[in-house]
């Protein structure tokens, strides 16, 4: 991979959060474009997060492909599901990775991109308080429950989705702390709408990465971060 970027999105967000928030359309569109490129080549990134997004003042690129893996297909060409396994980073991995029936790779990447979009929109301190802590606490609680029950994981997935549902619903509710932050800080309505769509609990209801990219028409020009 070529040498690229002066900083990653995590570093830029910590140093200049207002500028990153203002540039949300460019970042989210760039991440979606990178994922669309991977998915068109039948690859599943598996670790989308701000640290793995590079920015050089003009372009956005994904990096760290250490967990990237091919999406297998059956004889008919249909994409096969990945086996149940949490892969990626806490707070960003898709909840369906806990499903005992496995999961579909590209929609899981889209979920992670939605979480990234949320952090860009509301800033890291509020993201940590309103999303990251609850996400990781309930994941750990669910895995403890599975260890005690020695079941097949179905209860863990159901528990996790049940806990996430009101948090995800809050994204569209301006009366909640999370919803108000999304509405207040969104660079435009397109980014907020894309974030909500990518964070649908039903993987089949999420847009593809290409659809997210094509739906974000606003380009915010940032010369330096």
Active site residues: 47
Angle between helices 177-185 and 105-122 (to 10 degrees): 80
Within 13 A of 116's CA, how many CA atoms are on the CB side? Answer: 31
Full DSSP string of 12-72: HHHH-HHHHHHTHHHHHHHHHHHHHHHHHTTEE----SGGGEEE-SS-EEE---TT-EEPP
């Amino acid at each position: 991979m070529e040498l690229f970027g002066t900083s990653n999105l995590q570093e830029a967000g910590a140093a200049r959060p207002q500028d990153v928030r203002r540039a949300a359309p460019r970042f989210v569109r760039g991440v979606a474009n990178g994922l669309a490129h991977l998915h068109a080549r039948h690859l599943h990134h598996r670790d989308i997060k701000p640290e793995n997004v590079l920015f050089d003042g003009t372009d956005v690129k994904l990096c760290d492909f250490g967990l990237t893996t091919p999406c297998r297909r059956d004889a008919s060409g249909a994409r096969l599901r990945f086996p149940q396994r949490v892969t990626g980073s806490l707070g960003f991995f898709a909840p369906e990775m806990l499903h005992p029936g496995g999961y579909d790779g590209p929609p899981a990447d889209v979920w992670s991109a939605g979480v990234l979009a949320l952090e860009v929109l509301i800033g890291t301190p509020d993201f940590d308080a309103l999303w990251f802590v609850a996400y990781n606490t309930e994941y750990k609680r669910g895995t403890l429950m599975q260890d005690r029950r020695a079941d097949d994981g179905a209860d863990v997935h159901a528990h996790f989705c049940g806990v996430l549902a009101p948090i995800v619903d809050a994204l569209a509710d301006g009366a909640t702390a999370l919803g108000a932050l999304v509405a207040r800080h969104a660079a435009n309505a397109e980014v907020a709408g894309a974030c909500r769509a990518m964070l649908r609990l039903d993987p089949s209801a999420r847009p593809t990465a290409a659809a997210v990219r094509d739906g974000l028409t606003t380009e915010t020009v940032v010369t330096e971060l």
